[in-house]
């Protein structure tokens, strides 16, 4: 998948142009010390000998990874990998550099049933600590599987709302109910299946369908909203009949903003590219596995935005989500025209359903497809890389919510520039881990790096002193008076 980032507006959109920005940032509760910590950054490339396929995931982009505290490993899902659109799960052990395959890739499973999501990119992937589950949110890349399913032929007796097909294998009535039929006339849902006569009944007519017509039958075409149990190795799709627990976020969501609140025991989902206008936050209660659509708050919300993987991070100390960057969506949104690359910092509180445009005095340049994660040790959010236009960056920033401060860090070295990578925080080693991504002119990456932050400024280097007089080798006869002269520099 390619993205062209069209416009960049200095520090992002005009703070006054987005609704809700008039609220003062200090209105949110602050529990951290007001002063931002002074931090020193050091990047280190980690061992990654096993990354090559088939023993490892290979290079990956357009997805996310998450920390699993039970395995004490980082876990990665799907994305753009060796199969172009993948749906496998891998774990990575930071201390050893070992990759482990937890769930293998399956080609277009939605053409056969509801066993797991189709291979996809642009999908959020998060850990659920209450249920020990991995959640995959959104993306519609699976639609490519429709054309890859078997082509079938309607038998005599078929018509616009009925398909007779003796080759259908299911021997149980209603097995194909809620599946879809695709033909030259479009798509229709199956509302009934008679196993005895091998007959499908359609909810809406496909006008030219008749005996001899070709069609494709599939269960699901998108990635949707799924959770995976690493203990039982079972996937459940919320927008499939086996897992339906009520309404789910509207439209197909591509690269939305998602993270988990430990206080609310819920995921918050916002934005992403969809087929309609929706600036609501959707809340997923992990105990009930049910979604609630929250109203757009009266105080306002950010303008429509997409390309938000790894860009929406929960600050557990302050119980607040931080959103930075992304690409504005929808031509009708005058607050932020389509294609504008954002440089705004927004804070969202799920308990009160309120957004605040923080408008810090200094911030990273407007960008999208960057990496953000919460650093447990220091109570700050780390940002790395991303891009705007046709180039990427490799700068490192930290955001401290209580002081509303972005601080650029100056490590001695850094990973190569990239966008569309994956990031997770390892609380055992106290490191931010980044993996993969893509760089213009280089392509997809498979390297993995660790960022270690330490408190305090870099150690002060002692000044260097050079003796300038007397000259080296000079001799004197005692008693003598000797005048010394030297030069010094503080590096």
Buried b or exposed e, range 304-333, using 16+ CB within 10 angstroms: bbbbbbbbbbbbeebbbbbbbbbbbbbeeb
Structure token pair of residue 53: 């396929």
pLDDT of residue 247: 80
Q: What is the per-residue burial (b if ≥16 Cβ within 10 Å, else e) of 253-271?
A: bbbbbbbbbeebbbbbbbb
Name the pairing type of β-strands 73-79 and 86-93: antiparallel
48 burial level (CB within 10 Å; 0-12, 13-18, 19+): middle
Cβ atoms of 61 and 420 closer than 8 Å: yes
State the Cα–Cα distance between residues 344 and 302, nearest whole angstrom.
Answer: 9
Distance, in Å, from the CA atom of 488 to the CA atom of 465, rounded to the nearest integer, reads 4
Q: Are 182 and 218 in contact (CB under 8 A)?
A: yes
Domain ranges of the chain: 7-140+222-455, 147-218
Beta carbons of 153 and 214 less than 8 angstroms apart: yes
**With 80 as the cut, is the pLDDT of residue 331 above it?**
no
Element containing residue 438 per DSSP (H, E) = strand 438-439
Which of 141, 75, 78, 135 has its CA nearest to residue 106? 78
Superfamily of domain 7-140+222-455: Kelch-type beta propeller (2.120.10.80)
More confident residue, 10 or 129: 129
Sheet with 257-261, strands from edge to edge, namely 257-261, 266-270, 281-285, 290-293
Model pTM score = 0.86
Q: Which of 142-156, 285-299, 324-338 has the highest mean pLDDT?
A: 285-299
Cβ within 8 Å of residue 449, ≥6 positions away: 43, 44, 45, 46, 415, 433, 434, 435
Taking 60 as the threshold, does the pLDDT of residue 461 lie above it? no
Count of residues making up the chain: 491
Lowest mean pLDDT among 52-61, 120-129, 361-370, 469-478: 469-478
CA 484 to chain CA centroid, nearest Å:
64
* 127-148: pLDDT as tens digits: 999 999 999 997 666 677 888 8
Quick one: pLDDT at residue 213? Answer: 97
pLDDT at 132: 98
pLDDT confidence of residue 149: 83
CA angle 86, 88, 90 (to 5 degrees): 130
pLDDT in tens, 235-244: 999 888 877 7
Task: Give the model's pLDDT for residue 227.
Answer: 96
Q: Does a cis peptide bond (omega within 30 degrees of 0) precede residue 470?
A: yes
The two most distant CA atoms of the chain are separated, in Å, by: 125
Mean pLDDT within 412-429: 97
For 467-476, write each residue's pLDDT tens digit: 566 677 677 6
Task: Give the SS3 label for residue 335.
Answer: coil
Please report which confidence band the pLDDT of residue 11 belongs to, taking 50, 70 and 90 as the band edges: very low
d(CA 154, CA 345): 55
188: tokens are 């229709």
């Amino acid at each position: 998948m390619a993205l062209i980032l069209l416009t960049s507006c200095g520090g992002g959109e005009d703070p006054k142009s987005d609704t809700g920005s008039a609220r003062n940032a200090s209105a949110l509760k602050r529990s951290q010390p007001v002063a931002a910590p002074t931090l020193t950054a050091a990047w280190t490339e980690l061992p990654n000998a096993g990354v090559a396929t088939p023993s490892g995931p290979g290079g990956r982009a357009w997805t996310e990874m998450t920390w699993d505290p039970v395995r004490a490993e980082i876990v990665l899902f799907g994305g753009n990998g060796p199969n172009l659109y993948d749906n496998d799960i891998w774990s990575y052990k930071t201390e050893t550099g070992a990759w482990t395959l937890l769930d293998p890739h399956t080609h277009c499973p939605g053409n056969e049933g509801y066993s797991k999501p189709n291979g996809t990119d642009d999908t959020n992937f998060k850990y659920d600590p209450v249920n020990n589950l991995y959640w995959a949110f959104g993306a519609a890349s699976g639609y490519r599987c429709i054309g890859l399913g078997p082509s079938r032929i309607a038998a005599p007796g078929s018509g616009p709302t009925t398909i007779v097909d003796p080759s259908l294998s299911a021997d149980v009535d209603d097995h194909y109910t809620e599946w879809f039929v695709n033909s030259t006339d479009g798509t229709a849902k199956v509302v009934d299946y008679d196993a005895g006569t091998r007959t499908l009944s359609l909810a809406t007519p496909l006008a030219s369908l008749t005996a001899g017509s070709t069609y494709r039958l599939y269960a699901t075409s998108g990635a949707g909203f799924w959770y995976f149990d690493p203990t039982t190795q079972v996937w459940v799709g919320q927008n499939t009949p086996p897992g339906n627990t009520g309404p789910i976020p509207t439209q197909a969501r591509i690269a939305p903003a998602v993270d988990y609140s430990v206080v609310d025991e819920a995921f918050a989902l916002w934005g992403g590219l969809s087929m309609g206008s929706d600036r609501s936050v959707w809340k997923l209660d992990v105990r009930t596995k049910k979604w609630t659509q929250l109203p757009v708050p009266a105080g306002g919300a950010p303008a429509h935005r997409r390309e938000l993987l790894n860009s929406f991070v929960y600050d557990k100390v302050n119980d607040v989500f931080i959103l930075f960057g992304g690409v504005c969506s929808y031509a009708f949104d005058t607050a932020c025209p389509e294609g504008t690359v954002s440089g705004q910092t927004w804070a969202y509180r799920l308990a009160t359903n309120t957004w605040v445009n923080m408008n810090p005095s200094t911030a990273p340049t407007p960008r999208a497809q960057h990496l953000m994660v919460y650093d447990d040790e220091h109570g700050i959010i780390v940002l790395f890389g991303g891009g705007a236009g046709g180039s990427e960056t490799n700068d490192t920033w930290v955001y401290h919510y209580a002081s509303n401060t972005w601080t650029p860090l100056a490590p001695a070295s850094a990973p190569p520039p990239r966008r569309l990578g994956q990031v997770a925080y390892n609380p055992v080693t106290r490191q931010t881990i980044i993996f993969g991504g893509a760089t213009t002119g280089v392509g997809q990456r498979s390297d993995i790096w660790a960022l270690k932050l330490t408190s305090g400024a870099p150690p002060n280097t002692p000044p260097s002193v050079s003796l300038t007089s007397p000259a080296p080798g000079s001799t004197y006869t005692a008693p003598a008076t000797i005048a010394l002269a030297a030069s010094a520099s503080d590096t």
